């Protein structure tokens, strides 16, 4: 009798736990990948299919020549350019330097391979380039539009030891708006004085290689109003 009751109890427990497990999926971005090009402006190759294969197994991919099994221009620093389309048809180019980390959470259908079906010319140029290491951080705000806190100092401390950082509440030791998905907004200034806002959702990875002086802490000295709004979303 005890065994029968235990079996019934176990079945009921699994029936409640299993759906939650199956539906607990990591967040994904809004941009769908059209094409991926690897190399330099003068020598680059289409790696869309190779990236799709790698994406089925890894959400975060370390970028180097071994990633694609090819070196389009030996002895020269290379980069990966991912061309993608947003929900409203807006196209954008994401750029990653050798040695940085590609976070698949920024793209829709990353591990399902539901992308790379063309729609881009395949040219190296075009799109909207990201910071590429030329932007200096002014301020970092974490939370939601209605509740957020300044985490510039805490981010600087973590950046000294980590080139890439997984974003969650434990990182800053604070949850500004409980029960609501949060994000980190980094406000930065480019070499020509142009200011820009980079936005990262909970669960995604911050690649410090995009910012100047990341590991040295030579940033976060103000220059931004501290407001949540403003800038150019990433």
The pLDDT of residue 226 is 66
Distance between CA 141 and CA 148 in Å, rounded?
Answer: 6
Q: What's the mean per-residue pLDDT of the chain?
A: 79
Pick 206 or 128 by higher pLDDT: 206
- Smallest CA-to-CA distance from 204 within 174, 182, 187 is with 182
pLDDT tens by residue, 17-53: 444 434 444 456 788 999 999 988 888 888 999 999 9
Q: What is the longest distance spanned by two Cα atoms in the chain?
A: 78
Q: Do the beta carbons of residue 146 and residue 182 sit within 8 Å?
A: no
Q: Do the beta carbons of residue 141 and residue 150 sit within 8 Å?
A: yes
pLDDT tens by residue, 107-156: 889 999 888 777 776 677 654 444 346 789 999 999 998 899 999 999 99
Q: Is the pLDDT of residue 85 over 70?
A: yes
Q: Is the pLDDT of residue 95 over 80?
A: yes
**pTM of structure:** 0.51
Give the alpha-carbon dihedral of 133, 136, 142, 145, to 10 degrees. -100
């Amino acid at each position: 009798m005890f065994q029968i009751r235990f079996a019934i109890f176990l079945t009921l427990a699994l029936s409640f736990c299993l759906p939650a497990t199956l539906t607990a999926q990591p967040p994904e971005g809004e941009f769908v990948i059209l094409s991926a090009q690897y190399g330099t402006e003068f020598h680059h190759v289409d790696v869309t299919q190779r990236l799709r294969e790698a994406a089925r197994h890894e959400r975060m991919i370390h970028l180097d020549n071994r990633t694609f099994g090819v070196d389009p221009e030996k002895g020269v620093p290379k980069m990966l350019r991912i061309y993608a389309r947003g929900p409203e048809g807006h196209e954008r180019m994401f750029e990653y330097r050798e040695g940085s980390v590609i976070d698949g959470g920024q793209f829709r259908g990353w591990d399902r391979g539901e992308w790379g079906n063309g729609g881009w010319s395949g040219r190296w140029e075009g799109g909207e380039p990201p910071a590429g290491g030329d932007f200096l951080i002014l301020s970092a705000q974490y939370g939601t539009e209605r509740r957020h806190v300044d985490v510039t100092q805490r981010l600087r401390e973590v950046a000294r030891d980590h080139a890439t950082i997984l974003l969650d509440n434990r990182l800053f030791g604070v949850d500004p708006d409980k029960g609501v998905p949060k994000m980190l907004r980094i406000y930065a200034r480019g070499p020509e004085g142009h200011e820009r806002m980079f936005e990262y959702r909970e669960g995604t990875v911050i690649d410090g290689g995009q910012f100047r002086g990341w590991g040295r802490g030579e940033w976060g000295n103000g220059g931004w109003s501290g407001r949540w709004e403003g800038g150019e979303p990433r």
